[in-house]
Chains A and B, each alone.
Chain A
């Protein structure tokens, strides 16, 4: 397992945590905070998946 794979796993775990915080904020009716965390989750998840994607194409 390479360092980038570990980073990808950390990013996916961070995305899950961000999603959880976003859902908790949504339940507290803190909409701006929820959107912030959900955006962080989406971006972190996308970055993690892009890191492990095989193939030479971009």
Chain B
């Protein structure tokens, strides 16, 4: 099984440090190593979850679907999500699920007819693949068998069905193929050099501005979900998205203006520059209040 785990990190080589030459913190390095060791089942889980969300979940949670169908659908998701953990549970015995890197003792075990012996010879990736593929496929089949009307042409949208087929094909492809791993020759291309120095140090507090902008933009998205007319609902969504982007741009502009190295404008110039907009704001606000009171 090619899962990236057979490439041990070389602390003395160039891959142990970033291009800047600075040693990578141990915690960060460990996290990157764990990400790099993700196997085929984790890569297959992404299209699998997509296919589940399009073809299985709508059937399991459709009107009139039994409770067992929902349970089976949840089991399918659990099979996809927990398969990477199963795969990583036994990394020392996972040379290759396709058989190319198996030890002679494992080959000898295969010749034995006993099922238990063969099951014992299975490595973590083999168990993960069996759990991911069969757990997901069987649970999905159970859901479809329990709710056959969910797949009828009258209830299944054509585009959604085609997208579901693509998702299932990607899941099958990712499950059957070996895990993608990084090119080992890339490590040789890294040239160790002196530390890269940033042009300027960013002061603290910028994240707070961006967080406030994101919170405001997200709060706007909560408006207008109960509109009945489709055209107006789309218009409301469009307006809220544009307004959210504008507010996010405004907050980031304020954050960036705090620590600019350019010549700071004096208070008088800033006020003069914003005065037309402030006057316009006052005019619009007052005119709206006057019109509202006159009604």
B220 interface neighbour in A4, A5, A11, A16, Cβ under 8 Å? A16
Cβ contact within 8 Å between A40 and B254: no
**By CB atoms of chain A within 10 A, which of B263, B270, B273 has the most?**
B270
State the CA gap A55–B265 with chains docked (Å): 5
Q: Please give me the residue from chain A that is nearest to B209 by CB atom.
A: A9
Interface of B is mostly: helix
Say whether B67 faces chain A, with CB atoms less than 8 Å apart.
no
B277 interface neighbour in A4, A50, A55, Cβ under 8 Å? A50
Residues of A close to B257: CB separation below 8 A: 52-54
State the CA gap A13–B254 with chains docked (Å): 12
Instruction: Categorize the interface residue count of chain A.
Output: 35 or more
Number of residue pairs across A and B with beta carbons under 8 Å?
A: 122
Cβ contact within 8 Å between A27 and B232: yes
User: Which one of B16-24, B190-198, B236-244 is at the A interface?
Assistant: B236-244
Give 1 or 0 for each of B109-130: 1 = CB within 8 Å of chain A CB: 0000000000000000000000
Q: Please give me the residue from chain B that is nearest to A14 by CB atom.
A: B281
Cβ contact within 8 Å between B254 and A20: no
Cβ contact within 8 Å between A12 and B247: yes
Given A12-B251, A48-B250, A54-B265, decide whether A20 and B220 contact each other with a Cβ distance below 8 A: yes
Residues of B close to A49: CB separation below 8 A: 250, 253-254
A-side residues, CB < 8 A to B, are 2, 4-5, 8-9, 11-13, 15-16, 19-20, 22-24, 26-27, 29, 34, 36, 38-56, 58
